[in-house]
Amino acid sequence: MTLATKLPKVGTTIFTVMSQLALEHQAVNLGQGFPDFDVPQRLVDALARAMAEGKNQYAPMTGVPALRQAIADKTEACYGYRPDADAEITVVSGASEAIFDAVQAVVRPGEEVVVLDPCYDSYEPAIDLAGGRAVHVPLDPVTFAVDWDRVRAAIGPNTRLLMVNSPHNPSGAMFDADDIARLSDIVESTGVWLLSDEVYEHIVFDGRRHESVLRYPQLRERAFVVSSFGKTYHCTGWKIGYCIAPPALSAELRKVHQYNSFCSFAPAQWAFAEMIRDEPEHYRQLGAFYQDKRDGFREQLSTTRLKPLPVPGGYFQLVDYSAVSDLDDAAFCRWLTMEKGVAAIPLSPFYESPPAGQRLARLCFAKNQATLDAAIKRLVSL
């Protein structure tokens, strides 16, 4: 029997490829988006305590009740809306699982899902595995703003779902009130479901407000809203996230979740419940923490030939390298890793059709200062 792949367009993810290349060449890894500094001590202590207390067996499929209540409290404090902890909050094994589960829950073979390019590389494979088709709408190649007229034009009779992401990976662009108004009008007039990827919700800068879909009844009533503990608490390897959605959507998502991972790492769920309750200043101060890193890194980049683009949110810095090289982004990032000892991520894997002549690479500044200093020391020689 001949094996026919279900994902013919998929190879090894660019993040794995570049991290492996960085390891082989002893490069400073500013590619894959993980912090290299410590997890909050309270969270580590809470995890150890949960394990010592024997909380090591299966968690409830929807998540430990104490954690779902803590998420409800936090959501109300942040966005003025309190979701039902039992019917509307599902704890999952990372935001990627939440995205996969949501797509499988509502997309049927032959249906379309609108995605905004550049978009995170897990979106389209999830759509393909559901038998759907991704319809790519490009963002502005410089500002990464959404052309809502093009989004509306892309939605047709077979469109089931619209996927959005703010703060945006890889650019850091964020929705404002006008974006929300345009998005609301589209959702209301077309009746599509919405998936809002908000994993960088607390990493916002310059006094801006994160315009969560959860703030707006007309949006949250038709939306899966995805969040990540890994991004918020510097523990991406724990792979815990959650999805907030109205009861009918949550019920469908849970049907997929229970036969995917069933439940997520139980001791960590108890630890996050304690962390949210006892140290809310962590997520409240996260924007200021990362803004200091962003500002310092941008100042360091000014000593190089790389041109940093604006970063309203998230922990990635896009740089224009056109003053350094005419190589395409994939070739440039390989050269940068192998020859200059700094790993970056090219933007082309985030696109169906990358803009012609685009010369941008993504650097992660969620790193210790020593890591950033080491990278800059190498980048100044470009």
> What domains appear along the chain, each with residue ranges and CATH number?
14-39+284-379 (3.90.1150.10), 41-278 (3.40.640.10)
**pLDDT score, position 12:** 86
Which of 149, 164, 273, 269 is CA-nearest to residue 213?
A: 164
pLDDT at 1: 83
Residue 363 CA from chain centroid, whole number: 15
- Write down the pTM of the prediction: 0.97
Q: What is the pLDDT of residue 307?
A: 98
Mean pLDDT by 10 residues, the chain (382 residues): 90 90 94 93 98 98 98 98 98 98 98 97 97 98 97 98 98 98 98 98 98 98 98 97 98 98 97 98 98 98 98 98 97 96 96 96 97 98 94
Q: How many angstroms separate the CA atoms of 112 and 275, rounded?
A: 39
Angstrom CA distances, 304 to 209, 291, 319, stand at 31, 20, 11
At 32 the pLDDT is 87
CB-based contacts of 25, cutoff 8 Å, min separation 6: 337, 338, 341
pLDDT, residue 11, reads 86
Residue 70, CB half-sphere, CA atoms under 13 Å: how many? Answer: 20
